[in-house]
Amino acid sequence: MLPYLAKSKDLTGTNYADVFKQAKQLFKSIEARTKRRPYLRSAYFHKQKIFFDFFWQHLAQKRYPDRVRRLRYFPCAVELILKSRIHPESMDNPTNKGEILHRFTGMTKSKQLFYTQIKEDKRKGNKQLMSVFPAK
């Protein structure tokens, strides 16, 4: 399976405060587009909305070094969601049978592989950005 080649660069910085500041700035620009819940429209899902509700909660559960490692790829993940039409790996959620997990593969401008995981509710069809993380 070919990864989506992102044109945006991953975030720079050595500590959590630097990387979080850049990621939050990008998120505020997404948040400013709507009065309600922030979302992106996905090219793969035929312009359906992808919400961020679980992403920040999931990130807060991680330790600081892991947060930095994951947040570095946030701009690339946003671009992947907006523009990628490459089929993801899709599977039923092993803990909740009413959900499907879609794992998209992407590559940054500096040729680093990363994954973006989106959760879909089978009944309602709602989609949530769950996680962004590098390969291995």
Q: Note the pLDDT tens digit of each residue in 84-129.
A: 999 999 999 999 999 999 999 999 999 999 999 999 999 999 999 9
Long-range contacts, stretch 113-120, CB < 8 angstroms, 24+ apart: 113/3, 114/73, 114/76, 114/77, 116/73, 116/77, 116/80, 116/81, 118/42, 118/50, 118/81, 118/88, 119/54, 119/93
Question: For the chain, what are the domain ranges?
Answer: 12-26+39-86
Residue 2: the pLDDT is 87
Of 12-16, 17-21, 25-29, 86-90, the range with the lowest mean pLDDT is 12-16
Report the mean per-residue pLDDT for the chain: 95
pLDDT band at 30 (very low <50, low <70, confident <90, very high): very high
> What are the CA-CA distances from residue 54 to residues 18, 107, 126 (Å)?
22, 23, 12
pLDDT at position 1 over 80: no
pTM of the model: 0.92
Residue 58's CB: how many other CB atoms inside 10 A? 16
